[in-house]
């Protein structure tokens, strides 16, 4: 294993290819190294990473190098605290980053589920900006490093997150659900119900005119549209399909979390 260290994320971005992986917090990557993963032979590092969190002209900006602990320490993103708190234990939250979570495969990626529900934009190291959904759809192909994500602050009471796990408090997700209940244009995103975090188009359609009991019932009936859950050691496809509407109903009926 070779390690290449660069000063900036931009320089590191140019050195990433399909056998060279970028190292952020390393909670996934270093485990792969320890297990003898042969799919890559080079680790790329950057000395300066963006772990700032704050407001900018377009809304809120979260550096890809921000850890889950950084998120929990920032009042600017208090609505994301339940999401960051649901990820791993203290050691994982101290090291695991927002950027790494975007590229984390199932059963991980809970933070990316929330970001997709918030219509996040990814700011790439080369300055390009793209919707997070597009990045998630193409993330298996190396396309440069993520510098930061931007989101608009949701109106109070409109953002919800729920993680479903068998082991409490820090088991991995059987599924996670994030909803941003914007009137007219709601977002409902499931994690671990498809290869990447995925919008539930059926639920979003049903919730477009509000969240009364009828709309919630319709959203739960239609929530599997667009999803493709897998059988894995955490749960069968059948189980995931059975319980997804139950958990969505609980998420939609519960009071605001912030």
The residue range among 88-96, 205-213, 216-224, 230-238 that interacts with ligand FAD, by the rule CB under 6 A, is 88-96
SS3 of residue 79 by DSSP: helix
**CB-nearer residue toward ligand FAD: 92 or 217:** 92
The tokens describing 195, both together, are: 């290869």
Query: How far, in Å, CA of 52 to CA of 67, rounded?
Result: 10
Site for ligand FAD in 56-85 (CB under 6 A): 64
Write the DSSP symbol of residue 36.
T
Where does this chain touch ligand FAD (CB under 6 A) — which range of 54-62, 105-113, 201-209, 235-243? Answer: 105-113
The smaller minimum CB distance to ligand FAD, of residues 91 and 221, is found at 91
With CB atoms as reference, the residue minimizing the distance to ligand FAD is 100
- 4 in Cβ contact with 45 (< 8 Å): yes
> Phi/psi of residue 77, each to 5°?
-120, 40
25 belongs to the binding site for ligand FAD (CB under 6 A): yes
Closest to ligand FAD by CB, 142 vs 211, is 142
Spatial neighbors of 82 by CB under 8 A, at least 6 apart, are: 161, 257, 258
CB of 87 to ligand FAD, least distance (A): 4
How far is residue 51's CA from residue 118's CA, in Å, rounded to a whole number? 19
CA distance 233 to 253: 30
Q: Counting contacts by CB under 6 A, is residue 158 touching ligand FAD?
A: no
Stretches 93-101, 127-135, 210-218, 236-244: which one binds ligand FAD (CB under 6 A)? 93-101
- CA–CA gap between residue 70 and residue 62 (Å, rounded): 10
- Interface with ligand FAD by CB under 6 A: which residues? 21-29, 31, 64, 87-88, 92, 95-97, 99-101, 103-104, 108-111, 145-146, 172
């Amino acid at each position: 294993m070779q390690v290449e260290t660069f000063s900036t994320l931009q320089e590191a971005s140019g050195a990433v290819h399909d056998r060279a992986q970028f190292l952020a917090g390393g909670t996934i990557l270093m485990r792969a190294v320890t297990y003898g993963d042969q799919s890559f032979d080079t680790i790329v590092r950057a000395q300066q990473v963006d772990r700032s969190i704050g407001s900018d002209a377009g809304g809120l900006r979260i550096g890809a190098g921000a850890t889950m602990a950084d998120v929990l320490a920032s009042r600017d993103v208090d609505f994301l605290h339940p999401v960051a708190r649901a990820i791993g234990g203290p050691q994982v939250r101290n090291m695991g980053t927002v950027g790494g979570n975007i590229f984390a495969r199932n059963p991980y990626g809970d933070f990316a589920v929330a970001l997709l529900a918030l219509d996040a934009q990814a700011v790439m190291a080369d300055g390009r900006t793209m919707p997070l959904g597009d990045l998630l759809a193409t993330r298996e192909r190396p396309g440069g490093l993520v510098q930061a994500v931007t989101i608009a602050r949701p109106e109070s009471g409109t953002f919800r997150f729920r993680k479903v796990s068998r082991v409490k408090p820090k088991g991995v997700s059987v599924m996670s659900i994030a909803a941003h209940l914007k009137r007219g244009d709601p977002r409902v995103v499931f994690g671990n119900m498809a290869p990447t975090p995925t919008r539930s188009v059926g639920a979003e359609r049903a919730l477009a005119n509000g969240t009364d009991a009828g709309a919630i019932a319709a959203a739960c009936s239609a929530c599997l549209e667009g999803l493709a859950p897998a059988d894995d050691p955490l749960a069968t496809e059948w189980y995931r399909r059975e319980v997804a509407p139950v958990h969505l109903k609980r998420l939609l009926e519960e009071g605001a979390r912030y």
